Structure 1
Amino acid sequence: MAVGATMHTFTVQLADVDRGVYEELSLRVARHPSETDAFMMTRVLAYCLEYEEGIAFSDGISATDEPAVLVRDLTGALTAWIEVGAPDAARLHSGSMQAGRTAVYTHRDPAKVAAPWAGKRIHRGDEILLHSFDPGFVDAAAALVERRSAMTLSVTERRIYLDHGGTSLESDIHTQTAA
Structure 2
Amino acid sequence: MALKARIYKAGINVADMNRHYYADHDLTIARHPSENDERAMLRLMVWLLHASGELQFTKGISTDDEPDIWQKNLSGEIETWIELGQPDEKRIRKACGRAKKVYIYNYGGRSSDIWWQQYHDKVQRFDNLYIYRIPAEGNELVRLIDKTMKLHCIIQDQQVTIGNNADSITVEISQRFPD
Indicate conservation of the 8 Å contact 1:13/1:152, yes or no. Answer: yes
Residue in structure 2 matching 1:117, options 105, 116, 119: 119
Q: Report the Cα offset of residue 106 of structure 1.
A: 2.8
**Local SS of the residue matching 1:100:** strand
Name 2:23's counterpart in structure 1: 23
In the alignment, what sits opposite 1:67? 67
The answer on whether the counterparts of 1:104 and 1:131 sit within 8 Å (CA) in structure 2 is yes
Large movers: runs of 4+ above 4 Å: none
How many Å apart are 1:118 and its aligned residue? 4.2
Cα displacement (A) at 1:112: 2.6
Q: 1:28 to 1:167 in 2, by over 3 A?
A: same
Could you tell me how far apart the structure 2 residues matched to 1:115 and 1:64 are?
A: 24
Instruction: Determine if the alignment matches structure 1 residue 88 to structure 2 residue 83.
Output: no
Code of the residue aligned with 1:112 in structure 2: it is I
The separation in 1 between residues aligned to 2:35 and 2:117, in whole angstroms, is 23
Name the CA shift for 1:156/1:119 in 2 (closer, same or farther; >3 Å): closer
Gaps of 5+ in 1: none
For 1:133, give the aligned amino acid.
I
| RMSD (Å) for aligned C-alpha atoms | 2.0
Number of residues of Structure 1 aligned to a counterpart in Structure 2: 176
- What SS is found at the alignment partner of 1:161? strand
Aligned residue number for residue 38 of structure 1: 38
Shift in Å, 1:92: 0.9
Decide which moves more: 27-36 or 123-132.
123-132
Aligned partner of 2:101 in structure 1 is 101
**What letter is aligned with 1:34?**
S
What CA distance in whole angstroms lies between the structure 2 residues aligned with 1:86 and 1:61?
A: 12
* Structure 2 unmatched ranges of 5 or more: none
1:159 is displaced (CA, Å) by: 1.3
Q: Secondary structure at the match of 1:66?
A: coil
For 1:118 and 1:131, the matched residues in 2 are separated by 12
Q: State the partner residue of 1:171.
A: 171
Give the letter aligned to residue 70 of structure 1. W
Residue equivalent to 1:156? 156
Between the aligned partners of 1:119 and 1:132, the Cα distance in structure 2 is 17
Q: Identity over the aligned pairs, expressed in percent?
A: 23
Question: Which residue type is aligned with residue 156 of structure 1?
Answer: Q
* Deviation at residue 55 of structure 1 after TM alignment: 1.1
SS at match of 1:70: strand
Measured after TM superposition, the shift of residue 128 of structure 1 is 1.7
Q: Distance in 2 between matches of 1:96 and 1:65?
A: 13
TM-score by length of 2: 0.88
